[in-house]
């Protein structure tokens, strides 16, 4: 029998925070996401996808703004989130496959998806667990796309802002190869590669399960 460690649980305070956001919206929450605020960032991420439809799992999908964009481009998107209220909000935005579940213990069989997204969510999870689960549910040519906050951005008090040099070893430890990292300048209407990390708002990482995709 495999010696599997007990999965880490999501924090109750995180669920409470996002249940409130899901029910009442981001205003007055003291929180926001660049993915929600910037249509340009959603477009920039969507452009990373090939034209051929992909089966995508968005982990910590929140209200489903980016997922809507991907679905409109023809991809089959499933969202998973610990907050029922966020899932309801994503459902209202058209996400029919919205599943209550935890990034560190995903309720899907192995090799179910072509791409896993973790957008502005890694600060709420244990990296090794979440990346291990992403690897398990990805097919053998699968791809993991991550966005998180750049060094100059003050993240929400509950969000752990991992640095790139903490994220990369965790990805390698979970058997991913980092194919691309980009620091992005993001505003409502623009998303461009920043000349220096200090000028950026968002860190984007593209990691591959193997060399073949």
CA-to-CA separations, 45 to 34, 42, 102, in angstroms, rounded: 12, 5, 23
Q: Closer CB to ligand SAM, residue 124 or residue 162?
A: 124
Task: Give the binding range for ligand SAM (CB under 6 A) out of 46-54, 69-77, 115-123, 184-192.
Answer: 115-123
Compute the distance between CA of residue 175 and CA of residue 45 in angstroms, rounded to an integer. Answer: 23
| Binds ligand SAM (CB under 6 A): choice among 82, 127, 167, 203 | 82
- Ranges of H-type helices in 47-193: 65-72, 84-92, 127-137, 164-173
Taking residues 118 to 137 in sequence order and writing x for each that binds ligand SAM by CB under 6 A, - otherwise, the string is: -xxx--xx------------
Q: Closer CB to ligand SAM, residue 76 or residue 210?
A: 76
**Nearest CA among 203, 204, 159 for reference residue 18:** 159
Footprint of ligand SAM on residues 4-63 (CB under 6 A)? 10, 14, 18, 33, 35-36, 59-62
Q: Would you give the distance in Å from CA 44 to the centre of its chain?
A: 14
User: What 8-state DSSP symbol labels residue 188?
Assistant: S
Q: Which residues bind to ligand SAM, rule: CB under 6 A? A: 10, 14, 18, 33, 35-36, 59-62, 80-83, 86, 102-104, 119-121, 124-125
């Amino acid at each position: 029998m495999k010696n599997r460690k007990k999965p880490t649980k999501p924090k109750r305070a995180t669920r409470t925070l996002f249940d409130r956001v899901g029910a009442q919206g981001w205003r007055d929450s003291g929180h926001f996401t660049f993915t929600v605020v910037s249509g340009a960032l959603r477009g920039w991420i969507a452009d990373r996808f090939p034209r051929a439809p992909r089966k995508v799992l968005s982990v910590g999908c929140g209200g489903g703004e980016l997922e809507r964009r991907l679905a409109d481009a023809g991809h089959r998107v499933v969202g998973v989130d610990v907050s029922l209220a966020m899932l309801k909000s994503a459902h209202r935005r058209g996400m029919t496959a919205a599943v209550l579940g935890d990034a560190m213990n995903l309720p899907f069989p192995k090799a179910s998806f072509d791409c896993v997204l973790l957008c502005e969510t890694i600060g709420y999870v244990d990296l090794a667990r979440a990346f291990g689960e992403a690897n398990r549910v990805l097919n053998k040519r699968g791809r993991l796309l991550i966005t998180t906050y750049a060094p100059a951005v003050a993240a929400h008090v509950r969000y752990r802002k991992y640095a790139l040099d903490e994220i990369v070893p965790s990805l390698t430890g979970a058997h991913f190869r980092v194919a691309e990292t980009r620091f992005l300048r993001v505003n409502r209407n623009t998303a461009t590669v920043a000349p220096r990390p200090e000028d950026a708002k968002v860190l984007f990482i593209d990691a591959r399960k193997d060399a073949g995709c």
